[in-house]
Copies of this chain bind each other. A is one copy, B any other.
């Protein structure tokens, strides 16, 4: 065998070993890395959920600021969050990786270590992928999930008078990004960076809401509440009224030391939260707990027949709510 064939083989071997932490016993992956494609055995009575996400240097993370193990964790976490947002559970994923030669050593090891932790945490083994050499670090992640047929929670199901809920506190990830940008040396263990570096998709919450038919619509908060709620309302053909005073914002300890922070602005327009946004019929709100596995569930407003989005400020004034979150193709 020619040595020219070695680099890709070696890379694939190392990536494969990162996915090997998952037990094959109850895995749906019948054939993994090493053939033309992977084979997956779907469960009877379930639908397959498919999602893919870019994770690109410069656009989604900074090569010199983001620890490599966070890049590994987060590239999977954000795609898994789309599965959680449908009320499903992740089953396996494909990783496409473009890597400079300079990053195929230590950086890749750290990256794979973060990725391995994520595959275990989310019970989502690596099934295949594609690798190529590239000047920039490029990633694309496809996650395959499953949900009981007919049980998926879509963006399009919200109805007038439904109550709007969010999980967790919003804006902490954006705050973490600002903190990261201002730091010289990144302390990975800094708990104020955790929400930004190691987000945890709300898989159990999404499954619970789907299983018990609790929500009429759902999506994950990846681009900011103002932008994502606008999308949910557009898909459902409805409007919404948000109560500013109810929106769970970043805590004081999280905000400490970051300048010019408007917590409400961060909560409305900050990206990368990976919390869930969902709507509940008024008759079912008494069955929504205040916390689910330690994560707060907060009613923040109401769906309206009038197809506009309004924000009710603390002083009672109603203002139009504009989508000011992240647009990957936006002009700013």
Contacts and interface: CB of A to CB of B under 8 A. Distances in A.
Contacts of A149: 41
A319 B134 CA distance: 34
A267 interface: no
Interface in A276-332: 322-324, 327-332
A324 B82 CA distance: 41
User: Contact size class for A?
Assistant: 35 or more
Contact of A40 (B48, B54, B83, B154): B48
Contacts of A155: 34-36
A21 to B, nearest CB: 20
A128 B329 contact: no
A170 interface: no
Contacts of A51: 36-38, 94, 128
A119 to B, nearest CB: 16
Contacts of A2: 230, 322-324
Interface stretch (A4-12, A208-216, A240-248, A249-257): A4-12
Interface stretch (A138-146, A160-168, A178-186, A187-195): A138-146
A22 interface: no
A5 B179 CA distance: 26
A137 interface: no
A30 interface: yes
A82 B128 CA distance: 12
A35 B88 CA distance: 14
A98 interface: yes
Contacts of A110: none
B52 A47 contact: no
B35 A327 contact: no
Interface in A38-77: 38-42, 44, 46-54, 56, 59
Contact of A86 (B39, B53, B134, B145): B39
Contacts of A53: 96, 130
Closest 3 CB pairs of A and B: A37-B51, A140-B140, A42-B42
